[in-house]
């Protein structure tokens, strides 16, 4: 059951890339949520979350940036959302550490001169769509269904791992992105590599390894029937879309595959300005796929109308 969200003020943390090369991820998210009557309050004067959760338990200073963001969010509401999978991972895990570890909580509060106990709820937009909007309501708001595009939902690793801290979905077979895609009219293609790591920051010094990872993921999706994949993470998008040139150089049997941010598909389905989707910034142009689907949709609509006319005896 979706909750009434008219009085909910959701705090939005964009993170470092969503005002630059992942701008379409943010723009389509904001405009889509307006269509769903959800208020977003973007944090002002925010800083980097640090991007990676510290591995050493005693690295308290590594949690300070994320803790500061959580404290800032508390001033504006009790729900904080962010799109970037890395930001989401860091913020949720930091919040969990503050909630469950008294030593970490005490040291962070002493350093920041605050009294924060982890009372902000860190939710991914997909969780908000499920719990606060409801996928049935989202479906009812769709004005331009995605034409049964065969989409492979790609979760990567940051949304779901470590599972005991993230508590996002089944770490082996997540379904949240699947349910979202179905609600906006996509044909969901399940593929085993949807939870495999794309290579992450190894792209900085290990392009060859990332090309191998991306090839495996995209080829597995195609083998299972996908025409494109959808994801949430800017770094995954960079490795799987922007660097497909590396794959084609190394694997001669590889055919480029379009990659979408899930918010771009949502924006199209809800009828926002398609210019916000930034498809001209995609290295693998999804336009050909979308145009072919539109032609198919127009043809099907024409056939349906003609059949209806024939039934009514209209020439």
Asked if pLDDT for residue 310 goes beyond 60, the answer is no
Q: What is the mean pLDDT of the chain?
A: 91
Question: Which of 47-56, 133-142, 220-229, 290-299 is least confident?
Answer: 290-299
pLDDT of residue 52: 94
Q: Domains (ranges, CATH) in the chain? A: 9-125 (3.40.50), 134-299 (3.40.50.11810)
pLDDT value at 311 more than 60 = no
Which tens digits make up the pLDDT trace of 92-139? 999 999 999 999 999 999 999 999 999 999 999 999 999 999 999 999
Please, which residues bridge with residue 230 across strands?
A: 153, 260
What is the C-alpha separation between 85 and 101, in angstroms, rounded?
Answer: 23
Taking 80 as the threshold, does the pLDDT of residue 305 lie above it?
Answer: no
The pLDDT assigned to 6 comes to 45
pLDDT value of residue 313: 52
Mind listing the pLDDT tens digit for each residue in 265-289? 999 999 999 999 999 999 999 987 8
pLDDT of residue 7: 52
**Could you tell me if 165 and 127 are in contact, meaning their C-beta atoms sit under 8 angstroms apart?**
no
pLDDT at residue 34 greater than cutoff 70: yes
Alpha helices in the chain (DSSP H): 23-35, 64-74, 85-100, 102-112, 125-128, 135-141, 163-166, 176-183, 207-223, 234-237, 244-250, 262-270, 287-312
Local confidence band at 148 (pLDDT 50, 70, 90 cut-offs): confident
Q: How confident is the model at residue 309 (pLDDT cuts 50, 70, 90)?
A: very low
């Amino acid at each position: 059951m979706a909750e009434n969200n008219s009085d909910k003020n959701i705090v939005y943390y964009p993170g470092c890339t969503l005002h630059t090369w992942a701008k379409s991820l943010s723009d389509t998210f904001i405009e889509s949520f307006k269509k769903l009557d959800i208020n977003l309050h973007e944090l002002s004067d925010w800083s980097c979350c640090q991007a990676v959760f510290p591995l050493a338990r005693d690295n308290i200073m590594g949690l300070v940036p994320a803790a500061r963001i959580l404290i800032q969010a508390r001033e504006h509401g009790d729900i904080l959302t962010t799109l970037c999978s890395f930001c989401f991972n860091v913020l949720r895990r930091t919040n969990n550490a503050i909630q469950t570890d008294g030593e970490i909580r005490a040291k962070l509060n002493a350093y920041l001169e605050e009294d924060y106990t982890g009372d902000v709820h860190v939710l991914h937009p997909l969780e908000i769509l499920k719990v606060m909007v409801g996928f049935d309501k989202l479906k009812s708001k769709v004005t331009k269904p995605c034409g049964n595009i065969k989409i492979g939902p790609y979760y990567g690793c940051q949304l779901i791992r470590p599972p005991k801290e993230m508590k996002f979905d089944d770490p082996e077979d997540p379904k949240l992105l699947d349910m979202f895609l179905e609600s906006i009219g996509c044909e969901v293609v399940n593929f085993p590599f949807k939870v495999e790591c794309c290579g992450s920051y190894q792209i900085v010094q290990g392009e060859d390894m990332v090309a191998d990872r991306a090839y495996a993921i995209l080829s597995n999706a195609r083998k299972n029937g996908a025409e494109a994949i959808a994801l949430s993470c800017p770094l995954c998008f960079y490795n799987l879309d922007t660097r497909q040139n590396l794959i084609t150089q190394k694997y001669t049997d590889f055919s480029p595959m379009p990659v979408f941010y899930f918010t771009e598909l949502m924006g199209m389905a809800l009828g926002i300005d398609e210019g916000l989707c930034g498809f001209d910034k995609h290295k693998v142009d999804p336009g050909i796929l979308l145009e072919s689907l539109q032609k198919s949709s127009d043809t099907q609509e024409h056939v349906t109308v003609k059949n209806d006319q024939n039934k009514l005896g209209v020439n």
